[in-house]
Each structure stands twice: as structure tokens, then as C-alpha cells.
Amino acid sequence: MSVPFNVCRRLFLAASMAFLASPVLADTPTKLKFTLDWRFEGPSAPFLLAKAKGYFAAEGLDVEIDSGAGSAGAVTRVATGAYDMGFADFNALVEYDAKTPGSKIQAVYMVYNATPAAVFVLKKSGITKPADLVGKTLAAPIFDAGRKAWPAFAKSNKLAVDAVKWQTVEPALRETLLARGDVDGITGFYFTSLLNLEARGVKTDDVVALKYPDFGVELYGNAIIASPKLISENPKAVAGVLRAFNKALKEVIANPLAAVAYVKERDPLINADLETRRLKLALESSVITPEVKANGLGAVTAERMERSLAETADAYGLAKVPAAADLFTSAFLPAKAERMLK
């Protein structure tokens, strides 16, 4: 049975109006999985702020951010393809690449311009300088960045690598042992162990922190890393992540207190005051350095990178010094003007 012309016309007009009234569908956002190196704490604020405020979305990206359990694990997650990008200690990437030649994972934005590694002792021990550590016992997990980089710290301060004895402990016990006086010192990230000691009843004024960068160690710290698959197949996504993150990081630097609210949203159990202090310590000690003030956020200098890689190779016992171009690329960084601090 044929349909009358006037009925067809009404149906066509109705369909046309419905189409015009409907919103134009945007391109489907690119989904990315991003792993942090650790729990949701103050230093993770730039990543969480960028997601919550829509900076990733503005770049056409749908970024899923997960917590981590250490830099080595973060590198492995990216290496296996389980995650597209991550946040990890650059030196953990160097070590992984040396043990897994051809991994082609690259750091694309150096967040921590200086390693946060430090040796912590109690002031009452009388230890005030590296030479005072000779013959002492230090505690740390076997994978701790400060412990792994100890040979670099020792060499910079003319100490024998075996000048100290090591006690291997779980991360949760490290600061407890020092607070109780069971060991002479510990290694850890400056903004982590300092606050952990305070949480165990040790006053900040009673702690001596020998920060690696203050004693000649030139190692870089944590960086944003990307998988070779993402770099080759979707370089625009890599650049988009960095633009969004860079914008967020500058906001975090300008207002750390407000930024921690985005960490609290992700993990309601955190202590906002404590994490604000942790974030400020991280920014002051590892992010806002003289080098960053001169060259902008995210970048490295060729000369220091060469020295840093030589330090890492020596400290980690690598067979050779890796090529800087294999491990870090500035190709996806936002323009320098966007990365400069005011």
C-alpha cells in the first residue's frame, strides 16, 4: 500500500527538524591510561587538577589516572602497554632501558628538575655532613631511589661506596626505625620521609636532611614518560597531555592550597593540611629550581643531562652510559613562553 505524499512530506520535515535540533556530535575523545608513581598525595595535584578542570578534555583526551606502587612499577606498566603514559623517576627509566634494550620508552616532560632523594638522620646523632655517615647504618627499601643512587652521593662527597651499612626494610617501617633510634639514618624522598618522621613524633627541627642535590648529585627526578606506541601513533595526544599538564602545574605552583582540593576529591581520606605541606616541599625542593627559572618547566639542559646519565650509569652499575636522545625528548613540550614561571 502506498503512503500519501502529504504524509511522507510531514515525516521528512519532522526528521529534518529533529536532525537540525540535535547537537553536532564531537569527535570521540582519545582514551589514555596514565599511571602515577605512588598514592594520591599532594604532588599528584597537577595531574588530578588537569583532569577535574577539563584541561585534558579540552585537548580531546579522556585520561584515566591511577595510583602507583613505585617508579619501577610505573615504568613496567608503560613498557607492557598496560598504560600509555606515566609519572616515574627518570633514573628508573634509565635502568629499565639498560636492562631491556630497545624499550624505546621516553621521558617527555621533566617534572622534578632535581632528585628528591635525601639521607635523613636525627640531629642528636651529631651527623651534619656526608663524611659523618662513615660506619653508620642506613635503612631503606631495596628499590628506594636514594639507596640506589647512594654511589653517586658517595662519589660526589669522596666517600667509599661501602662507607655505610644497609638494612633492607619495608617502606612503612623506614621512618619508624629512625624515630626509635634503631638505625643511624634512612634514605627517602625529601617531601615524603620528612613528613613521615613528623607523623611518628619527630619534630622537624630535630631532623637533619642531607639532600642529594645540595651535595653535588646532578640526577634528575621524576618525569612524565610515554610509550613508543603512543609516541609513534598519536604524537598529538602526547603534546596535548603536556599542554594540559603544564597549564595545571603552573596553577598548582600559584596556589598549592587550592590544588590539594583536587587530591581530596580523588581520595577523601587524605589529610589536606599535610598534603598541602608535602606539595609545597616538593615544589620548593624539586620543581622550582634555578635551572627551571632560567629554562622553563619540563625541559632539561644537554650538558647536565649528559652528566646525570653518567652518574646514573655509574651508580646503578650499567654497562654503558645511555644516549640522552634515546631517553628524553623535548619534541612534545609546550612552547618555552608557556613553560616559563613568572
3-19 residue pLDDT tens: 444 444 454 444 444 43
Sheet of strand 106-110, all strands in order from the earlier edge strand to the far edge: 61-66, 30-35, 85-89, 222-226, 106-110
Q: Would you give the DSSP letter of residue 124?
A: G
Closest residue by Cα to residue 222 from 85, 84, 86, 77: 86
pLDDT at 16: 43
pLDDT at 8: 43
Please give the backbone phi and psi of residue 29, each rounded to the nearest 5 degrees, phi first: -60, 145
Domains 30-114+220-339 and 117-215 alike in fold = yes
- Domain parsing of the chain, residue ranges: 30-114+220-339, 117-215
pLDDT in tens, the chain (342 residues): 444 444 444 544 444 444 334 333 347 999 999 999 999 999 999 999 999 999 999 999 999 999 999 999 999 999 999 999 999 999 999 999 999 988 999 999 999 999 999 999 999 999 999 999 999 999 999 999 999 999 999 999 999 999 999 999 999 999 999 999 999 999 999 999 999 999 999 999 999 999 999 999 999 999 999 999 999 999 999 999 999 999 999 999 999 999 999 999 999 999 999 999 999 999 999 999 999 999 999 999 999 999 999 999 999 999 999 999 999 999 999 999 999 998
Read off the pLDDT of residues 228-237 as tens digits, 9 standing for 90 and up.
999 999 999 9
Task: Mention the CATH class of domain 117-215.
Answer: alpha beta
> Pairing relation of β-strands 222-226 and 61-66?
unpaired
Sheet of strand 165-168, all strands in order from the earlier edge strand to the far edge: 165-168, 137-140, 185-189, 117-122, 207-211
pLDDT at 135: 98
pLDDT at 41: 96
DSSP letters for 173-236: HHHHHHHHTSSSEEEEEHHHHHHHHHHTT--GGGEEEEEGGGGT-----EEEEE-HHHHHH-HH
- Does the domain at 30-114+220-339 match CATH 3.40.190.10? Answer given as yes
